[in-house]
Each structure stands twice: as C-alpha cells, then as structure tokens.
C-alpha cells in the first residue's frame, strides 16, 4: 500500500499547485490585462466615481418613475442569490402571480407580460424582454414628464439583440440613462 502513498500524495499536491493556483492566477493575469472592466464585475459608476452597482446584477426599483426589473424571490439579495423554486402547481405561485397581476394590470395595455410576474432563476436577472419594458413605458413617461417617443429612443439604445438569444433590455443601464435625461427630484 505504501507504494501508492507517495505518488498519490505528491500528485494531489502537484495538481493542486497547477490547477488550483497556477491556472486561476494565469487566467486572472490575462483577464485583468485584456478585459479589466468585465473581470472586475462590470461595475457601473456615477460622475463622482461612486460605484452604483453592476451592469449584470439587478437592483430593486420602486416608484412610478423607474423601470422595475423582474420580481426577485430573494428581494434582490446578492449574498446569497436565490430562486422561488415553486413548482408549477404550487398554490403559492398562482396566488402571487394573480395578486401582482391585479396591481400591475392596465386595461389599455392588455394582459401583463409574464416577465413582470415571475421571479427569475437568479433573483438578480438584470434584463427584461422589450414587451415588459413597453408595458411600463407609459407609467414612467408620465411620472418623469418625458414624451413617450423620447423614452422609446432610450429603450432602443439599451436593447440587446444577440444572434443566439432573445432580445433583452438592461434595466439598470436604462434607468441610469433615464436619470441623466430627466432626473427625478431627490435622487
């Protein structure tokens, strides 16, 4: 048995050195040189340099003057992230969805898009489908007293259409642009 001991222990140590230390350090080195923005968390800063969030992590927004992201099962907690894990037949899911739909429903706009009623897998989904943005646009335009067409131009700028996935709008980026265009008093 001792014949196995030395190679086993030495290879565990050597593999730890190579794959557990050298490899992550090499990736970090190259990543920090080539893609420093992304490697450090795609942080979003304001004019004063204060970190206001990450473009990839949703923030909770409340009030009529902001676009709201998807609901979060973990109330937008980042440590730890979490999902509802409600089964499709769980009565708690139907109750929550109907209650939220009753609040958000606008007869003039039709039924509420599902993205505004369902919690995301991460609880931190930074995006919304364009239809879910369109559903909120009249409310935000009214609250900020901005013409809807002007707001739509901002939305179009913040819309991503990858070749291999659905079109999405980054809510934080959009809200930041919105705040520059027509600041809400007190923010």
Partner 1 sequence: MHSYDYLLLLAFFALVLLPAPWLGRFYYNVMEGQSTWLSPLLRPIERGCYRLAGVKPAQEHNWKQYTFALLAFNLAGGALLFAVLLLQGSLPLNPQHLPGQEWSLALNTAVSFMTNTNWQAYSGEASLSYLSQMLGLTVQNFVSAATGLAVLVALCRGIARRSTTQLGNFWVDLTRATLYGLLPLCLVLALLLVWQGVPQTFADYANAITLQGAEQTIPLGPAASQIAIKQLGTNGGGFFGVNSAHPFENPTAWSNLFEVASIILIPVALVFTFGHYVKDLRQSRAILACMLALFLIGGATALWTEQQPNPALDNPQVQLGAPLEGKESRFGTTGSVLWTVTTTAASNGSVNAMHDSLNPLTGMVAMVNMMVGEVIFGGVGAGLYGMLLFVLIAVFLAGLMIGRTPEYLGKKLQAREVQLLVATLLVMPVGVLVLGAIAASLPGPAAAVSNPGPHGFSQLLYAYTSGTANNGSAFAGFGANTVFHNLMIALAMLIGRFGYILPVLALAGSLAAKNSAPQGLNSFPTHGPLFTSLLLMTILLAGGLTFLPTLALGPIAEHLSLGF
In whole angstroms, the minimum distance from the beta carbon of 149 to partner 1 comes to 24
41's CB contacts (< 8 A; 6+ apart) are: 54, 56
In whole angstroms, the minimum distance from the beta carbon of 46 to partner 1 comes to 9
- Backbone dihedral region for residue 112 (phi beyond 0: left; psi -120 to 50: alpha; all else: beta): beta
- Mode of pairing for the β-strands spanning 51-54 and 159-160: unpaired
CA dihedral 127, 125, 60, 49 (to 10 degrees): -70
Nearer to partner 1, 148 or 177 (CB): 177
Nearer to partner 1, 57 or 141 (CB): 57
Nearer to partner 1, 128 or 154 (CB): 128
In whole angstroms, the minimum distance from the beta carbon of 153 to partner 1 comes to 20
Neighbouring C-beta atoms of residue 110, cutoff 10 Å: 9
In whole angstroms, the minimum distance from the beta carbon of 137 to partner 1 comes to 16
Nearer to partner 1, 102 or 149 (CB): 102
């Amino acid at each position: 048995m001792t014949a196995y001991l030395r190679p086993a222990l030495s290879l565990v140590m050597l593999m730890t050195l190579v794959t557990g230390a050298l490899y992550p350090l090499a990736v970090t080195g190259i990543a920090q040189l080539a893609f420093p923005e992304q490697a450090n968390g795609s942080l979003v800063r304001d004019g004063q340099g204060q970190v206001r969030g990450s473009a990839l992590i949703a923030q909770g927004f409340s009030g009529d003057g902001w676009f709201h992201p998807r609901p979060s099962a973990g109330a937008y907690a980042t440590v730890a992230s979490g999902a509802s894990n409600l089964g499709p037949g769980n009565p708690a899911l139907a109750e929550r969805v109907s209650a939220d739909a009753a609040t958000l429903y606008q007869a003039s706009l039709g039924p509420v898009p599902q993205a505004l009623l369902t919690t995301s897998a991460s609880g931190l989904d930074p995006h919304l489908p364009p239809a879910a943005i369109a559903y909120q646009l009249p409310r935000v335009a009214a609250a900020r007293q901005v013409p809807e067409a002007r707001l739509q131009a901002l939305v179009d700028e913040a819309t991503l259409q990858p070749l291999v996935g659905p079109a999405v709008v980054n809510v934080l980026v959009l809200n930041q642009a919105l705040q520059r265009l027509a600041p809400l008093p007190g923010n």
